[in-house]
Chains A and B, each alone.
Chain A
Amino acid sequence: MSAVFQVENLKKSFGGLAVTQDVSITMNPGDRVALIGPNGAGKTTFVNLVTGHLEPDSGKVMLGGNDVTSLGPTPRVRQGLVRSFQVTRLFPDMTPEEHLALAVMQRTGRTGRIFGHYHSMPDVMAEVAELLRTLGLDHIATRKVSEIAYGQQRLLEIALALALKPKVLLLDEPAAGVPQSDTPRIEAALAGLPSDLAVLMIEHDMDLVFRFAKRVIVLAAGAIIFDGSPEDVTKDARVREAYLGSYANDRSAA
């Protein structure tokens, strides 16, 4: 299977501080990868480098075989690299339906139209209805986002990313701030992601990581210290020392 997403020898320093050190990752369609690491490990810098918000000192970012290293964030999105945000970034005065319609119209090149309305675009309405139904948001489709629960906003973040039909999806702590009672809905949404979609999830909730990921990458001090299966990550001495600590011990004991 050919790689859909490749990061090759990515390096970035701020002043004398190396925050990303020779990071290489390859992902295939359908991969479920979790990127974990302690605070300050360079996860956010890595996401910013990959999405084009930061320029690397050296290294390459490839998307579907194309070198996108010199492209800005917007063209990378158009090529299929989509991200969600750790803290929801939604439009408070718009409804979930409007959010998704806007995303579908953007993907299909219709947001430049100065006349017309998405209600009169049957294909947009059908896709929006399907996304709302799939994410369980159809009962709040026409309520303002500022009036819906945070867990529902997190689901809308995922729906918004899916509306852009990405090839690679970066999920930045999709369950952050969600009440425990709503976590199963987020997990159900993650379990239901398209099977051909490559997903890289940054997450601190290790239970969620172990339920979701088929592969775990551990970042510490800007470098990859582990890249392997969830079963092996807890046994790795360097990972235990740098990050997992008591969690790994508890898991081993269990």
Chain B
Amino acid sequence: MAAIENTSAAKPAATRPNWLVRDLVGLAVILAVAAIGYFLFPNNLALLTRILGVALLVLSIDLVTGFCGVATLGHAALFGAGAYASGIAAVHFGITDPLLMVVVGAIGGALAGIVSGAVILRGHGLAQLVLSIAVVHLFHEAANKASAYTGGSDGLSGISPDPIFGMFAFDLWGRTAYGFAVALVAIAFVVLRLITRSPFGMLCRGIKEDPIRIRAMGASVQGTLLKMYVISGAVAGVGGALNAISTQVVGLDSLSFTLSAEALVMLVLGGTGSLYGALIGTVSFMWFEDFVSAANPFHWLTIVGALLIAVVLFAPRGLYGSAQTLLDRFRGDGK
């Protein structure tokens, strides 16, 4: 094939971003923030653990919404499926090892991902949103009806996980649960960074940007999205299992539309399409919600609503996305 005149040299490979260093720095920042949280709020570790559980849910939504462009308001179905799977495994089948409970939760979430993905991915746009809401309601109702296993509206109690590795018992102050949560989020972050950078992750980004082009390249859009839904379900399931292990109870609220919608709001607040955005959005929203509800128990919802409106209007790419844009602009000016 004839070569076309080239006007300048190729960009050297050495100037490519060093992903490993960036990821390690990101991981170090997460662990540093977790350590700061531990020392600043030693009496509030239960809230911090809850934040990390929900962070896994928000990360899982980011996988399908931020990286694949699938709209969903029903992702708590996957989180709740993981929570109930690990809770039922502990209460009814005697699987009380925390690590095994997490594995069961991941499997439960992944199975829920297959089911809900198979339904939700049949629609597009508004139809997709409506299907996702229908799915979370169906999961909620199924858990309510199967009260012999789930405890119905009373919740599933009596979950008593063993000490981690037989050494670290879950204590009253929530220190072990918090350490366990930090470890799970750190592992999930590393694994998801690898997945989102992988050939499969690139394909998902392509689908989000132009599914017609992806089909024209010979790739299956539906199959790819379903696979990501299963991965996302496993991550949400780990979050649900963490919630079950740390609180030792699973309620129907873990399968609620409200949790799904709040988690999506957290993602938008932090910025979609970036794992950092998902984490920042979760921490900001839940910390702000806790702080404002304590400071002003009568008007806290109004204040949270005002914050969200402000972010959407003035930082439409979310906190992380907007900060990144500002940083890029600053760097551009500095050149």
Q: Could you list which residues of chain A lie within 8 angstroms of chain B, going by C-beta atoms?
A: 73-75, 77-78, 82-83, 85, 89-94, 98, 101-103, 105-107, 110-119, 129, 132-136, 138-139, 141-142, 155, 160, 164, 185, 188-189, 191-194
B210 near A90 with CB under 8 A, answer yes
B215 near A91 with CB under 8 A, answer no
Residue of B with least CB distance to A155: B4
Query: Which B residues are CB-close (under 8 A) to A82?
Result: 216
Query: Which A residues are CB-close (under 8 A) to B201?
Result: 114
23 contacts between A and B (CB under 8 A): A73-B215, A83-B216, A89-B210, A89-B212, A89-B216, A91-B206, A91-B210, A91-B213, A93-B205, A102-B199, A105-B202, A106-B217, A113-B200, A114-B195, A114-B198, A119-B13, A136-B4, A139-B10, A155-B4, A188-B2, A188-B4, A191-B2, A192-B1
**Number of residues in B with C-beta < 8 Å to the partner?**
39
A164 near B218 with CB under 8 A, answer yes
Q: Given A83-B216, A89-B213, A139-B8, check contact A110 B3 (CB 8 Å).
A: no
Give Cα distance in the complex from A185 to B7, angstroms: 12
Query: Which B residues are CB-close (under 8 A) to A107?
Result: 218
A106 near B213 with CB under 8 A, answer no
A141 near B199 with CB under 8 A, answer no
B4 near A116 with CB under 8 A, answer no
- Interface check B19, CB cutoff 8 A: yes
Query: Which B residues are CB-close (under 8 A) to A117?
Result: 19, 197-199
B210 near A160 with CB under 8 A, answer no
Q: Given A74-B220, A102-B217, check contact A91 B209 (CB 8 Å).
A: yes
Residue of A with least CB distance to B194: A115
Residue of A with least CB distance to B11: A142
Give Cα distance in the complex from A118 to B197, angstroms: 9
B6 near A74 with CB under 8 A, answer no
| Nearest CB of chain B from residue A114's CB, rounded to whole Å | 5
Query: Which A residues are CB-close (under 8 A) to B219?
Result: 74, 106, 111
Give Cα distance in the complex from A160 to B218, angstroms: 12
Across the A-B interface, how many residue pairs have beta carbons closer than 8 Å?
125
- Interface check B203, CB cutoff 8 A: yes
Query: Which A residues are CB-close (under 8 A) to B4?
Result: 134-136, 155, 185, 188-189, 192
Residue of B with least CB distance to A88: B213
| Nearest CB of chain A from residue B295's CB, rounded to whole Å | 40
Give Cα distance in the complex from A164 to B213, angstroms: 13
Residue of A with least CB distance to B1: A192
Give Cα distance in the complex from A105 to B218, angstroms: 11
A77 near B210 with CB under 8 A, answer no
Give Cα distance in the complex from A198 to B2, angstroms: 17
- Interface check B68, CB cutoff 8 A: no
Residue of B with least CB distance to A78: B218
- Interface check B329, CB cutoff 8 A: no
Query: Which A residues are CB-close (under 8 A) to B126?
Result: none
Query: Which B residues are CB-close (under 8 A) to A98?
Result: 202
A114 near B3 with CB under 8 A, answer no
Known pairs A106-B203, A119-B16; list 15 more (Cβ under 8 Å). Answer: A73-B215, A83-B216, A85-B213, A89-B212, A91-B209, A93-B205, A102-B199, A102-B202, A102-B217, A114-B195, A114-B231, A117-B199, A133-B6, A134-B3, A141-B11
Cross-chain contact of B6 among A101, A138, A164, A194 (Cβ < 8 A): A138
B210 near A74 with CB under 8 A, answer no
| Nearest CB of chain B from residue A201's CB, rounded to whole Å | 17
